Amino acid sequence: MQAVSTRSLADRPTDLVTVAARESALAIEVSGLRKAYGQHVALHDLNLTVEPGEVFGFLGPNGAGKTTTIKILLGLVRPTSGQARVFGLPASDPGARRLVGYLPENFRLQDWLTGNELLELHADLANLTREERAWRIPEVLRLVGLGDRGHERLQSYSKGMLQRIGLAQAIVHNPRLLLLDEPTSALDPIGRREVRDLIRALSSRGTTVFLNSHLLSEVEMLCDRVAIIDRGRVVKSGRLDDLVRGAPELMITLDCVDADVLAVLGRFGRVLSHDLTSVRLGVTDASVASVIAEVLPRSGYRVYSLVPVQRSLEDVFMGLVEGSRL
């Protein structure tokens, strides 16, 4: 995939509503959002904000309410109560929809069309002029790594190529907000890296990316902030560095673990887990490791290793939604 061109459709004539929307402080603003389907409540008082130009990760187990939230942001579903706004406009407003590109996780494209014809269709739906299409469609095909495959019918595309052309249709009109649902799920490692590069390039130009993915390592590499949702509620949100850093932990490997050593370690922090030879200890200050390294041998235990634990996003995620179906 190639670097994103500096040429922009953002300079094309727009109506006053769209101009006003672009001046809004928030790309996404969700407040008190609730959605009930009969007795089933999919969203409970959901609150969420996304800043313009950031890459925002939206995470949660299956059934947590992610798809319902995205459908509300797209104006496809109306909330039972609460508000969802896109660049200052109600999500259901046609002016808001013109600012959004979307790639769903499971999508079906008209496979009798060629790649060029599919993008012509979506460019037409987005009201791009003939002149705009002439340069924008070839540019987008190059961006997603299909520069020489636009003349081929979609029915001949591989799964990875279909994922790429799906991404192309989502960005052909240069949206201000891009909603991506598992955008790299069908791609090999090279393809995933190229999509990451494209997302970073779009973000650097001011495009807001709202990313839903179960590949937490991808989220860690891409996102500025994340929100973790479970059972229709945001259970944690914030900058990725802050979420992952959290309280320090120590992993201690010993010749044996018994009740006495657990009692000793309990004076320095909270025992999070242990087995026959190792203990994971939550502490308030990692510097206490040097004291523990002195105390344990004096108590009769041989210490093989004592190292700080670097938490991952997966650790945070599993700790928050443990028990939910992934």
Kindly state whether residue 77 falls inside one of the protein's structural domains.
yes
Amino acid identity, position 25: A
The tens digit of pLDDT for each residue in 232-286 reads 889 888 887 777 776 688 999 999 999 999 999 999 998 988 999 999 998 888 8
Q: What is the predicted pLDDT for the residue at 283?
A: 86
- For residue 1, tell me if it sits in a domain: no
The Cα-based distances of 201 to 5, 50, 63, 66 in angstroms read: 9, 18, 31, 25
d(C-alpha 88, C-alpha 223), whole Å: 23
Q: Which of 24, 65, 25 minimizes the C-alpha distance to 42?
A: 65
Total domain count, the chain: 2
3-state SS, residue 24: coil
Assess if residue 325 is contained within a domain: no
Amino acid symbol at 66: K
Amino acid at 156: S
Query: Do residues 165 and 258 share a domain?
Result: no
Task: Tell me the residue range of the domain where 164 lies.
Answer: 9-241
- For residue range 152-188, list pLDDT tens digits in order: 999 999 888 898 899 999 999 999 999 998 888 777 8
Is residue 15 over pLDDT 80?
no
Residue 326: pLDDT band (50, 70, 90) is: very low
Residue 209 belongs to a domain with what CATH number? 3.40.50.300
Residue 317 within a domain: no
Please give the average per-residue pLDDT across 277-305, as a whole number: 90
| Amino acid at site 191 | G
Map tokens 């945001």 to a residue: 234
Based on the domain organization, do 255 and 213 belong to the same domain? Answer: no
Same domain, 65 and 213: yes
261 and 177 inside one domain: no
Confidence of residue 64 (pLDDT cuts 50, 70, 90): confident
For residues 277 and 203, state if they share a domain. no
Q: What is the mean pLDDT of the chain?
A: 86
Read off the pTM: 0.76
Q: Is 299 part of any domain?
A: yes
Domain CATH number, residue 280: 3.30.70.1560
Phi, psi of 99 (to 5 degrees): -95, 0
Whether residue 326 is contained in a domain is answered as no
